[in-house]
């Protein structure tokens, strides 16, 4: 009886593999792993796992939970990167080896065949938004005309305030459509008061929700102005609030705080503005939890799946970040916006 064939050597496998010591430092890797991260294998040797984990400790946090039996633990859609290189998405398996070391196996994400979601997302989002932009141009023009006619007939201050709100929102959406159809370099940021932005969003939310949802303001009045685009921030935050309204929430909280010594991406900031949109609705469905920032992904049959990707794009335009945590009855989306130090380059 012939013996079974030897398994292929790890070096010859197309699956990215790396070997680490018991403390999580890279001892070596196969060519597929080095090529996937865009760096030579020699430069990876000696690096600690948290240095390659773009989320800090999402993968490295598995180390205390690994069993000596070699049973692997999985992290879905982990983000790995060699410092300074683009992030790579993969399902990562981590396990103890017989000699006490670690084996890391990465299965790159395949939602976008042939390319990484980190680079495919902006293109997919842009194409989807441009298609919608063509469709909404004519309705916007009709709404603008109707608002102008209505403005000539109303007499009360409250009614005129609502008509003015309709007109300003139509103008903002028309400008967004023009920007999508005719991309131009981003305009210069101007000093922005985040509470003025949130008050604008609150007015929209109260108009849409009426008395069915309680909107709670919890603002830190000491927050400084920062360089920003008030229109784009209004669009992003309105998308977050509207999602909360549509989640069956009875209360939505608009909260601001100062965040000191915060790390956004790989950049440290002495001060950032933290904006939280919290609600007591149904929460993010488990099957969408890892995909909600991808375009055209929605938990509602009538949803476009564009609100959250656009909000994340606005956060990145401001060198900030957008994240969330969710469980039924408690969902919080957190927008971090850095405040430049005096003399710091804002580009």
What is the DSSP annotation of 125-181?
A: HHHHHHHHHHHHHHHHHHHHHHHHHHHTT--SHHHHHHHHHHHHHHHHHHHHHHHHH
Instruction: Give the per-residue pLDDT at 275.
Output: 95
Nearest to 225 by CA among 263, 271, 179: 271
d(CA 13, CA 201): 52
Output the CA torsion sign for 179, 180, 183, 187.
positive
Nearest to 198 by CA among 238, 239, 226: 238
d(CA 268, CA 286): 32
Q: What DSSP state is assigned to residue 188?
A: P
Q: Enumerate residues 6+ apart whose C-beta is below 8 A from 243.
A: 307, 308, 333
Instruction: Give the per-residue pLDDT at 211.
Output: 74
What is the DSSP annotation of 264-322?
A: ETTEEEEEEEEEEEEE-SS---GGGTTTTTSTT--SSTT--S-HHHHHHHHHHHTT-EE
Q: What does CATH list as the number for 10-108?
A: 3.30.450.20
CB 165 within 8 A of CB 203: yes
Q: What does CATH list as the number for 189-347?
A: 3.30.565.10
Instruction: Evaluate if pTM is beyond 0.75.
Output: no
Instruction: Give the per-residue pLDDT at 35.
Output: 87
Instruction: Give the per-residue pLDDT at 114.
Output: 41
Q: What is the pLDDT along the chain (347 residues), one digit of tens a residue?
A: 444 444 445 565 778 899 999 889 999 999 889 888 888 889 999 999 988 988 777 888 888 888 877 788 888 878 888 887 777 888 888 888 888 899 999 888 643 344 444 444 455 555 555 656 666 766 777 777 777 777 777 778 777 778 787 877 777 777 766 665 555 445 578 999 999 999 999 988 888 777 788 999 999 999 999 999 998 899 899 999 998 988 888 999 999 999 998 888 778 889 999 999 999 988 887 767 666 777 655 555 444 456 788 888 889 889 999 988 888 889 999 999 999 886 555 54
Q: Are strands 226-228 and 17-20 parallel, antiparallel or unpaired?
A: unpaired
d(CA 260, CA 266): 15
């Amino acid at each position: 009886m012939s013996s079974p064939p030897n398994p292929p050597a790890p070096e010859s496998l197309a699956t990215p593999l790396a070997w680490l010591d018991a403390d999580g430092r890279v001892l070596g890797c196969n060519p597929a792993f080095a090529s996937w991260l865009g760096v030579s294998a020699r430069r990876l040797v000696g690096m600690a796992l948290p240095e390659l984990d773009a989320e800090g400790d999402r993968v490295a946090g598995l180390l205390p939970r690994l069993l000596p039996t070699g049973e692997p633990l999985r992290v879905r859609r982990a983000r790995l990167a060699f410092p300074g290189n683009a992030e790579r998405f993969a399902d990562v398996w981590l396990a103890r080896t017989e000699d006490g070391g670690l084996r890391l196996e990465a299965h790159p994400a395949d939602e976008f065949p042939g390319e990484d979601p980190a680079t495919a997302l902006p293109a997919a989002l842009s194409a989807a938004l441009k298609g919608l932009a063509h469709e909404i141009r004519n309705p916007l023009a009709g709404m603008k005309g109707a608002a102008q006619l209505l403005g000539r007939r109303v007499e009360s201050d409250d009614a005129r305030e609502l008509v003015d709100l309709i007109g300003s929102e139509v103008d903002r959406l028309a400008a967004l459509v023009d920007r999508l159809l005719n991309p131009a370099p981003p305009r210069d940021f101007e000093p922005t008061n985040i509470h003025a932005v949130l008050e604008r969003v609150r007015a929209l939310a109260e108009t849409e929700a009426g008395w069915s949802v309680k909107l709670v303001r919890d603002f830190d009045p000491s927050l400084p102005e920062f360089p920003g685009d008030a229109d784009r921030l209004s669009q992003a935050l309105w998308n977050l609030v509207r999602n909360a309204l549509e989640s069956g929430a009875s209360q939505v909280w608009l909260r601001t705080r100062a965040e000191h010594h915060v790390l956004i991406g790989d950049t440290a900031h002495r001060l950032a503005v933290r904006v939280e949109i919290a609600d007591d609705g149904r929460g993010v469905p488990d099957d969408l939890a890892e995909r909600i920032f991808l375009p055209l992904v929605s938990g509602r049959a009538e949803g476009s799946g564009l609100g959250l990707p656009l909000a994340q794009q606005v956060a990145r335009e401001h060198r900030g970040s957008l994240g969330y945590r969710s469980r039924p009855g408690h969902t919080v989306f957190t927008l971090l916006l850095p405040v430049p130090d005096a003399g710091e380059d804002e580009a």
